[in-house]
Structure 1
């Protein structure tokens, strides 16, 4: 039996305080997550002269994203008058961490309540997951509240789409987690010994593989990648930022050209008939069209290979013939194939392939010249594995509400 370690894991609804809406103070817009252009516009709006905008933007950008400050008063090389003006008009508000869970394998999951500037959107929640390894730390972030797709093997996909995240909300996930991991100057990392080895940064890689289809929120994802990769702030290499898509073909070329990120494609089948069932988006953009877009993806080389994700479903897509067809389909594409053991949930319509079957499939792909690592399931004991995000949290919250109302 897997034991589970949890930190602040209460998922009961937060208490609602009675308050006249007219008496509630209006929240100041947060600058956390702003692009350089947005930050410059915010400074201009409070009277910073045009001749100073570039310098002031660079100063404040460095404080927000390199130092991770929470208060404008911490900006030691910024004049008091400007700090006061900033505090009167803006904030550095973060999303609220509702729960934090720690798996026995070191995986961490956070349920985050957003502090959005979007009208009526405050209180929406997403999850993000941190996966530590000896030589790296990967943060899996969300791009939407819920999901617009209905992939039948993905529990997350059973949730309805609520809305797109703003670029600021996407960036804020990284800032919140870096704080939690002590990855800003002056902060102390957790003392549980589950972070990457000495000399390695806690977060080295970002994957857009959380809730949502990133390419259905293209503009905000593109802007967020720009902030995440800025060398004077959060400083993540674009080669360490991977955007995953189920196959939104019209946006793929723009992603490579404008964002310059790495690409991952959720393939999962080698025949349109089967992929239509597993990934209904395939009915709109079938396999040939999807793979043609991969062949022309800007920047794809043997050094910047496209990752194809393939969930292993027992008796569905795991035969040797399908492994050989996968190799044939990917011919000419700089690619690696991640084989993902299916993560089941109660009532799931599929089972995970047997280990021998997965190994046989992997060997066929590997012998054809493609890297074919089998992704080790991480965080299953806290429902943080691939395809499990937020679904169980939603069910437990609903159960708690029923108990409270009974």
Structure 2
């Protein structure tokens, strides 16, 4: 028996071609797309303007499938984390972060991670596989389901922004990430503006130009160090694409300007990368690039080797960067109590005992 294909995650132009090849009129693609991504239906039977025989034909060939929520956790600060199970049994996590003026969903691009950044919990989990476009779009749809946010609202969305900052390196799964984000940005479906989407990379230099040209979303770069010797340790990818190459790629990123700045992410590690000298070198390194710097207090996780810089040290670092003309907000940690904060995602995290989580929180 032929296995049915998940219709979620198929690019619009590919779906249209499949339908035409199957003798389905071209205009039906627009109607079905509307039901899938604007109305968020879960069954072809919920598409009343589609003829019954066509609904049957669609049901014989396709499914409408979201990832299964294996575990849902809610932080004391309102952050939500979902452990999602895919059809092959593999799992990944995504997070929703509520804020006063927006709600941001943090999406994963891989099961595990290609990289081994030393301060990141996800980096301790070896790469299992890339996520498909359907699995990436599915994370967004699960979040929309959770907030009953169908049909697509035009304003006041609970899920108004996306950051590709979850498990995995998005630029090592570029084709699937690009396909998924184009589906999410389609104006006749979920309809999220590219200006509401930020893709974070640890510095896969050869793919950065392509990201700007083909997707056009905001870029965030996980910098974390301003010297090659230290960054080689913290972000081992630096050995392949050193700082000079990375910064050059940032300077030429398509569409970057004062209205669409690159975000440099910088985790604050006590006694490692948080000196005044580091702050001044950071300013020198990025001079001339329209940018802002997100200073991220290190978020603890089981058996991590690092400590967070003191609030006083972070403030002093931020002040140097700010006085040089760069916005340097200190990111407020969110969801630490459920291991949902930056650098804490790992699919096994839901198996951590309550006592371990309590001990982590006691040390914050």
Give 1:74's match in structure 2, choosing from 22, 40, 46.
46
What is the DSSP-based 3-state SS (H/G/I as helix, E as strand, rest coil) of the residue aligned with 1:310? strand
Q: Which residue of 2 aligns with 1:14?
A: none
Structure 1: gaps spanning 5 or more residues: 1-24, 116-121, 188-198, 398-406
Give 1:213's match in structure 2, choosing from 166, 169, 176.
169
CA offsets 1:97-136 (integer angstroms, 9 cap, x no match): 1010111100000000113xxxxxx111110000000100
What is the DSSP-based 3-state SS (H/G/I as helix, E as strand, rest coil) of the residue aligned with 1:236? coil
**Structure 1 segments of 4 or more deviating over 6 A?**
none
Q: Which residue of 1 aligns with 2:55?
A: 83
Segment of structure 1 superposing worse, 160-169 or 31-40: 31-40
In 1, Cα distance between equivalents of 2:10 and 2:141: 12
Check the 8 A contact 2:92/2:347 in 1, yes or no.
no
Segment of structure 1 superposing worse, 342-351 or 233-242: 342-351
What is the DSSP-based 3-state SS (H/G/I as helix, E as strand, rest coil) of the residue aligned with 1:273? helix
Is residue 175 of structure 2 the alignment partner of residue 203 of structure 1?
A: no
Q: Which residue of 2 aligns with 1:114?
A: 86
Kindly report which structure 2 residues correspond to 1:209-358, keeping only aligned pairs within 5 A, or say none. 209-358=165-314
What is the DSSP-based 3-state SS (H/G/I as helix, E as strand, rest coil) of the residue aligned with 1:340? strand
CA offsets 1:30-85 (integer angstroms, 9 cap, x no match): 1112210232233235431xxx21x1111100100000001111112111111111
Distance 1:38 1:186, change over 3 A: closer
Distance 1:395 1:97, change over 3 A: closer
CA offsets 1:337-367 (integer angstroms, 9 cap, x no match): 0000001123211100000000110111111
Is residue 5 of structure 2 the alignment partner of residue 29 of structure 1?
A: yes
Check the 8 A contact 1:383/1:392 in 2, yes or no.
no
In 1, Cα distance between equivalents of 2:194 and 2:307: 35
Give 2:71's match in structure 1, choosing from 94, 99, 117.
99
In 2, Cα distance between equivalents of 1:147 and 1:87: 35
What is the DSSP-based 3-state SS (H/G/I as helix, E as strand, rest coil) of the residue aligned with 1:177? helix
Q: Which has the larger radius of gyration?
A: 1
Query: Normalization by structure 2: what TM-score?
Result: 0.94
Give 1:146's match in structure 2, choosing from 112, 115, 124.
112
Is residue 31 of structure 2 the alignment partner of residue 62 of structure 1?
A: no
Is residue 141 of structure 2 the alignment partner of residue 175 of structure 1?
A: yes
What value does the CA root-mean-square deviation take over the aligned residues? 1.6
What is the DSSP-based 3-state SS (H/G/I as helix, E as strand, rest coil) of the residue aligned with 1:348? coil
Q: Give the deviation of 1:313 after TM superposition.
A: 0.1
